[in-house]
Amino acid sequence: MPYHTSRRILLAAAAAAAVSAAGASAASFVPGGAPEAPDLADLSWAQRLVARMSLAEKVGQLFVSRAYGHSATDPDPADAEANQARFGVRTAAELVARYHLGGIIYFAWAHNTRSPQQIAALSNGLQRAAVSSGARIPLLLSTDQEHGIIARIGAPATLLPGAMALGAGGSTAAARRAARIAGTELAAMGIRQDYAPVADVNVNPANPVIGVRSFGADPERVAALVAAQVAGYQGAGIAATAKHFPGHGDTETDSHVGLPVLGHSRAEWEELDEPPFAAAVAAGVDAVMTAHMVVPALDPSGDPATLSRPIITGVLRERLGFRGVVTTDALDMAGVRQKYGDDRVPVLALLAGCDQLLNPPDLPLAHRSVLAAVRSGELDEARIEESVLRILELKARRALFTDPWTSPGRVAAAVGTPAHHKAADEIAAGTTTVLANPEGLLPLDPAGRPRLLVTGADPVSPSGTTGPPTAVLARELTALGCPATAVPPARAVAAAPGHEAVLVCTYNVPEGDSPQRTLVADLVATGVPVVAVAVRNPYDPARLPTCAAELATYAWTDVEMRAAARVVTGAVRPAGHLPVPVPGRYPLGHGLTY
């Protein structure tokens, strides 16, 4: 929903009551019966709310923290211990109340995402804690549900093709549709902010952290797909978050473990990195996430972008005109912690122009540090209020003051529905890319019942997939009339004779000699036709011996494996085209059909 075009956003009566002498109760936050709020261009309601908040409550609104456990009030013992050790409280509800948090981010590893119904119950429990304490402001609940290789919530929620797969498909309509489905399901689970889409332009094959999370290497195509996904997510009622500003696509260091440097000149940045973020801002994106990386052409100080006023205020706010919420990437990542201590990072991020402080490694320390900076005069309280107003406006735009709740019925009606799964398969059908098929091996003819062997890499699948990719691919090929057996790599060469073809799943094949290269070479030497299926980065074929056919799927969840099986058997015509060049082998846009 573009800025200042949404009219007559409803706020609950409790939003006003929360700042009145009478106070408010959690029971006040129910659908219906609420007065109409002023236009979002008129923030007088939010200003009145902020004026009645304590400094601690204002500072709390800036923080989005993790919390351990599947329940807001009744965590498993190990999760209660983790909360106690990290935050000094036993439950997520106590964490929200103690620090007046503005939001919680869900992670599978924090045991927040066992099932859609459990997530919905957790969301409702956290909202009850928020609207029953402090300033009684509902939470903005969030997660990283990029799809493809990053999915915090697995099946039975719908798993959709990720960004580079959508880039291979090239359809803005498909990208918008995927985001609309994803947003609808997240909203039904009580999640109103997704840290997606990725707006980085992946022009570096050695990038260790972005890769297939990017839509591709063409800035204009990436920009169009980013804008489409912003429309899809926000059309479903949740906040989209374009990341990682000012652009993480041409780096060779993972900011989780080090401090990347982007060596682009200012002109190169404007040509390569800026367009997707400019498109997101033009599309009315609710939030932009910063990158923990140094960009000397934009700020020669050596500070990471998250802590850089020239980048956050000077470029994002002033040059691009972004007026929404700026959220930091996670503050527990090494990239933002190398130059300054954990007590300074949140203060410097606010001085740079950030609004949301995401997942600090030590929340009590971070909260105290921001309070101390205000009391010492380093941070002006008016600066804190600017960010709080942006956050409150975002919460109002996403209807959190009207109705922060969800329900089991809403989850059942929206999450993992047959219609959504069917749509995911339709979208994925256009993404699988046939890179090579020199002798016309593909498509295989199910009428001949060809016996197939499937082997290779089995990366850990996102939560909720039905098995390793080799097993899923074999199952899907069999269902399509081509009997297939999955075997581990150690048995593949001996098992290959007598099969019409061997499909080898490859995963991030390195340069030079490697076990994956050796496996493919040994299989090729058997004389059985080999089909290489790159299940993550499409750069793998350039690092392997020549095969009878080569495919790229861009991820290895069930939906991508089903699509690959259909392409291999001719059930669908291949339609994907490379959204990145494969150096030394294939140009940008390459893709075969039959």
Reported as a single tens digit per residue, the pLDDT across 547-577 is 999 999 999 999 999 999 999 999 999 999 9
* This model's pTM is above 0.85: yes
- Looking at CATH, the fold of the domain delimited by 432-569 is given as Rossmann fold (3.40.50)
Domain assignments of the chain as residue spans, ordered by start: 13-414, 432-569
| Per-residue pLDDT, 254 | 84
- Nearest Cα neighbor of 115 from 66, 54, 156 is 156
Q: What is the H or E stretch that residue 60 is in? A: helix 55-61
What would the DSSP string read from start to end of 239-293? B-EEEEET--TT-SS-TTTS--B----HHHIIIIIHHHHHHHHHTT-SEEEE-S-
pLDDT in tens, 455-505: 999 887 666 677 899 999 999 999 999 999 999 999 999 999 999 999 999
- Whole-number Å distance between alpha carbons of 127 and 132: 8
CB 543 within 8 A of CB 508: no
Please report, in tens digits, the pLDDT of each residue of the chain (594 residues total).
333 333 222 233 233 333 222 223 333 333 332 334 435 667 788 999 999 999 999 999 999 999 999 999 999 999 999 999 999 999 999 999 999 999 999 999 999 999 999 999 999 999 999 999 988 999 999 999 999 999 999 999 999 999 999 999 999 999 999 999 999 999 999 999 999 999 999 999 988 889 999 999 999 999 999 999 999 999 999 999 999 999 999 998 888 989 999 999 999 999 999 999 999 999 999 999 999 999 999 999 999 999 999 999 999 999 999 999 999 999 999 899 999 999 999 999 999 999 999 999 999 999 999 999 999 999 999 999 999 999 999 999 999 998 999 999 999 999 999 999 999 999 999 999 999 999 999 999 999 999 999 999 988 766 667 789 999 999 999 999 999 999 999 999 999 999 999 999 999 999 999 999 999 999 999 999 999 999 999 999 999 999 999 999 999 999 999 999 999 999 999 999 999 999 999 999 999 999
Q: Which amino acid is at 90?
A: R
Query: Which residues are within 8 A (CB) of 254 and not within 5 positions of it... i.e. 6 or more apart?
Result: 208, 209, 260
- Nearest Cα neighbor of 134 from 64, 61, 73, 195 is 61
Residues involved in catalysis: 256, 329
- Looking at CATH, the fold of the domain delimited by 13-414 is given as TIM Barrel (3.20.20)
Q: Which amino acid is at 298?
A: L
What would the DSSP string read from start to end of 291-319? -S-B-TTT-TT---GGG-HIIIIIIIIII
Crossing angle of helices 219-235 and 172-188, rounded to 10°: 30
Helix, strand or coil for residue 505?
strand
Instruction: Write down the residue that tokens 């990290």 correspond to.
Output: 86
- Nearest Cα neighbor of 158 from 172, 137, 179, 139 is 179
